[in-house]
Each structure stands twice: as structure tokens, then as C-alpha cells.
Structure 1
Amino acid sequence: MVVLATKLYVEGDARERAVDSLRSLVGNALDELDVSYEVGVRHDDFPSVTVSGEDAVVARNLLREEWGEITGEFEAGETYVGTLERWDEDGFVLDAGEAIRVPTDEFGLGPGSPEQVRERFGLVQHLPMRFVYGGEDDAHSLADAERDRLYEWTRGDGRVNVNSATRAEVRATVNRAGHARDIVTVERLGLLEQSIVCGEGTDPPGLLASIGEYLPAELRCVVP
């Protein structure tokens, strides 16, 4: 079984659609492998995928690579994935099956308070983020690959990051608001966290204002 490092925190019909979306994504990823699989959701909202069959080991490794894995075991100096649970004046708290606090001076994302950093890089709640486990005595830090990803977001033509919606739902919302030609793509960050990549000449705050009325979600701009 692989516990994926992305959360299903919505309820009702939205939750059913999210589970269906995940089942479809897993099916597409494992389509060419000789395996059977079952998708479930743990009590803490992390989805699990139970895999069996001749290619089960390959399938589990593929899922870990694509989504990250929630594991109960950590080794100092190794990189893991957690979801952005909350933030305060001292740093971020990631949910990696247990609470992982990343202090502000271990962000490596430039000056500012955690709230200012969150606004600058468009970090929505529940966003999967890579971190380096510091062990019992040392502070945990954001992984270099995570820092590189976030800095890359500040280049280009800007983004609007969204939570609480699948990629298909976000794409449909952009189309409904009449902005299909104003974006490059909708990039999947997690199952329910997406990044709308703006096209040249598109104003991220303007796009956010236009689609916000259609999405009951948290939206954050990344302005280059």
C-alpha cells in the first residue's frame, strides 16, 4: 500500500468527484502495468492505493515518484513530502502523517514573515511541499527542489494557485469565465491544488477576480 502525499479535504459531492478523479489518474498511470489496485481514503484524509500483481513493486514506485508518499518513518537528511497545514509567525507546519514544523529561517525563500512569503509565492493551504527532515535535534527545512520550484513560479507571466478543486474543475471554471485563451495551462500541484499558468499579457490579479466568484476555494496570485 502507498499513502499518497495529497489530501482529500472536501466533502459531499465534491469529495466523490475528487475520489473518482484520483481513481482515474491512478488508472492512467498504471495502465500498462500488470496490476490491480484499490483506492481508499484514510481517516486523516490522505488517500491510499493498494496494489497487487506482477508489476506491483514498479507500480508502487511510480506512485511514490508522481505523488510523494506519507510514511511513518523518517531519516535525518532525507527528503519527504508534506501538505501545508497551517502557518504562524514562527514558520510553516506541514502534515506528513505527523506535524513537521519548518521555521522561517529554514525557508530559504528570501526575507519576510511566513504570511508574506505565502503571499509572495501564492501558497495555498494543503499544497504538497518537499522538505528535508532534520532529525530529533535539527530544524526541518524546505528542500532545494521545492525552493527552485517556487522561485520558478515568480518568473514568466504569473500564476493563480487554487485549492479545493480538481484540475478538470479549474479548467472548466476558466472556460466558463471566458479566459481559455488567456492561460497557458492548468498545472496539477496535488489532487485538489492547481496552478493556472497565465499567458503573456494576462494579469494574475485580474484573472483571480474574474474566476473567484465561480470557485469556492482559496486563490493566491504569483505576480512576476
Structure 2
Amino acid sequence: MVVLATKIYVEGDARQRALDSLRSLVDNDIGDLEVEFDLGIRHDDFPSVTIEGEDAVVARNVLREEWGEIVPDLEAGETYVGTLERWDEDGFVLDAGTAVRIPTDQLGLGPGSPAQIRERFGLVQHLPIEFVYGGADGDTDDGEDAPSRLSDAERDHLFEWSRGDGRLNVNSATRAEVRATLNRAGHAQDYVTVERLGLLEQSVICTDDTDPPGLLASIGSYLPAELRCVVP
């Protein structure tokens, strides 16, 4: 079984649509292999994929690479993926099956408070984020454990956002739902593509002459979601 590092936190019909979307994506990832799989959702909203068949080991590795994996125990110095659960004056808290705090001075995303950094980089709640586990959540008095930090790859990824085209990041919606909303609201020509960040977290990459805050104002009423802009 592989527990994917993306959450299904919506309810009602939206939850079933999200599960159906995930089933399709997993099938795209491993459907060509000699396996059968079943999807479930854990009590903490992380989806689990049970895989059987001749290529089961390969299939599990493919899903780990594509989505990241929630594991029972974290080891210091290893890289994992968690979802952005909350933020406060002291840093970010990620959900990686257990709460992992990334102190402000370990974010490595430039000056500002965690709330300001979140706003600057357009980080929506539940966004999957890669981190290096330090063995402690900011408490290093024992001299052995170090605080957890964002991975170098994650920092580079986010800085690339700030140097590239404008973006509008969205949560609580599948990629298909975001694209349908953009098109229905008359913005089919105002974006290049919708990049999938997690199952329910998407990034709308704007065209050169599209203003991300203006796009947010235009479609915000159509999406029951959190929306955050990235303005280069």
C-alpha cells in the first residue's frame, strides 16, 4: 500500500469527484503495468492505494515518485512531502502523517513573516511541499536534532514561480474543475495552462498580458476555494 502525499479534504459530491479524478490519474500512472489497485481515504484525508500484481513493486515506486508518500516514521536527514496545514509567527506546519514544523528561519524564501511569505509565493492551504526532516520541530536544545527545513528543490521551485509568468494558485478543486471555471467565466485566452500541484491544488499560469489579481477578482466568486496570486 502507498499513502499519497495529497489530501482529499472536500466533502459531499466534490469528494466523490475528487476520488474519481484520483482514480483516473493513478490509472494513467500505472495502468500500463501488470497490476490491479484499489483506492481508499484514511481518517486524516490522505488517500491510500492498495496494489497487487506482477508489477506491484514498480507501480508503488511510480506513485511515490509522482505524488510523494506519507510514511509511518520519519527519519532525520531524509526528504519527504507534507501538505501545508497551517502557519503562524514561528513558521509553517506541514502534515506528513504527523505534524512537522518548519521554523521561519528554515523556510529559505527570503525576508518576511510566514504569512507574508505565504502571500508572496501564493501558497494555498494543503499545498504539497517537499521538506527535509530534521528530527525535531524547532527544538534543538538537546544538541542532536536539527529543525526541519524546506528542501533545496522546493525552494528553487518556488523561486522559479516568482521569476516566471504570473500565476493564480487554487485549492479545493481538481484541474478539470479549474479549467472549466476559467473557460465558463470567459478567460480561455488568459491562461497558458493549469499546472497540477496536488490533487486539489492547481496553479493557473497566466499569459504575459494577464494580471493575476484581476483574474482572481473575476473568477473568485465561481470557486469555493482559496486563491492566491504570484506576481513576478
TM-score band, normalised by shorter chain: over 0.9
| Alignment of 1:202 onto 2:210 | yes
Aligned-pair distance for 1:157?
2.1
Q: Which letter maps to 1:156?
A: G
User: Who is 1:146 aligned against?
Assistant: 154
Long gaps (5+) in structure 2: 137-144
- The reply on whether 1:163 has 2:171 as its aligned counterpart is yes
SS for the counterpart of 2:126 is: coil
Where do 4+ consecutive residues of structure 1 move more than 3 Å?
Answer: none
Matched residue type, 2:156: D
2:19 alignment counterpart = 19
Q: Matched residue of 1:83: which SS?
A: strand
Q: Which residue of 2 aligns with 1:88?
A: 88
Determine the C-alpha separation between the residues in 2 that align with 1:135 and 1:10: 31
Residue 98 of structure 2 is aligned to residue 98 of structure 1: yes
Show structure 1 runs of 5+ residues with no match.
none
Q: In 2, Cα distance between the equivalents of 1:37 and 1:132?
A: 30
Counterpart Cα distance in 1 of 2:103 and 2:165: 30
Identity rate of aligned residues, in percent? Answer: 78
* Distance in 1 separating the partners of 2:48 and 2:20: 13
RMSD across aligned positions (CA): 0.6
Partner of 1:108 in structure 2?
108
Aligned twin of 2:36: 36
Deviation at 1:168, TM superposition (A): 0.3
Equivalent in the alignment of 1:128: 128
SS in 2 for 1:181: coil
| Aligned residues of 1:157 and 1:201 also touching (Cα < 8 A) | no
Aligned-partner Cα distance in 2 for 1:128–1:156: 20
Q: Which residue of 1 aligns with 2:142?
A: none
**For the Cα contact (< 8 Å) 1:91–1:102, is it kept in 2?**
yes
Three-state SS of the structure 1 residue aligned to 2:87 is: strand
The CA deviation string for residues 74-133 of structure 1, in whole angstroms up to 9 with x for no partner, is 111110000000000000000000000000000000000000000000000000000000
1:190 aligns with 2:213: no
Partner in structure 2 of residue 46 of structure 1: 46
Instruction: Give the superposition deviation at 1:148.
Output: 0.6
**SS of equivalent to 1:101:** strand
In 1, Cα distance between the equivalents of 2:97 and 2:177? 27
TM-score, with structure 1 as normaliser:
0.99
- Asked whether the equivalents of residues 122 and 161 of structure 1 are also in contact (C-alpha less than 8 Å), the reply is yes
Question: What's the offset of the Cα at 1:156?
Answer: 2.0
Structure 1 position 223 matched with structure 2 position 223: no
What letter corresponds to residue 5 of structure 1 in structure 2? A
SS of the equivalent of 2:45 reads: coil
* Counterpart code for 1:191: L
User: Within 2, Cα distance between the matches of 1:127 and 1:197?
Assistant: 16
Shift of 1:164: 0.2
